[in-house]
Amino acid sequence: MTQAAFFVLTALADQPRHGYGILREVGELSDGAVQLRVGTLYGVLDRLTADGLIALDREEVHDGRLRRYYRVTEEGIGALDAEAERMAAGADAAKQRIAEGRKAPGPAVNPAPHPSAGPGPGPGLAGGLA
């Protein structure tokens, strides 16, 4: 699943939204890191619709303009859940590796001491080599 598809599904997970609502929600969910263009959004919506992960919820007309609301399907919830599990497992594995690295001796995995942080748990550059 692409990053854009993941965020679009996440944006629709709690309630149906229209195109602009999805764009805004994706921006907020990603802290502004993912800014979808309209062309990209509709490419993603086409793909998710074709895969049965989202569906048209309703259509409304406001000031003479069409507004379509999309909702995530049961299959879409399943796919999003699986993707979230996969990402969480990856994040857990990364955290575990980082923790193991910090416990293990050796200069390669020791974090560089920040000047304002004071003495760290391992030897600093001067203390370790002197």
86 binds another protein (CB under 8 A): no
Stretch that binds another protein, among 7-15, 17-25, 86-94, 95-103 (CB under 8 A): 17-25
**CB within 8 A of 92, min separation 6: which ones?**
none
Q: Does 114 bind another protein (CB under 8 A)?
A: no
Under a CB-based contact definition with an 8 Å cutoff, are residues 72 and 64 in contact? no
Binding status of residue 119 toward another protein by CB under 8 A = no
State the Rg of the chain over Cα: 23
The answer to whether 2 and 33 have CB atoms below 8 angstroms apart is: no
Tell me if 43 contacts another protein by CB under 8 A: yes
Interacting residue ranges for another protein, rule: CB under 8 A: 2, 18-20, 23, 37-43, 46-47, 50, 62, 65-68
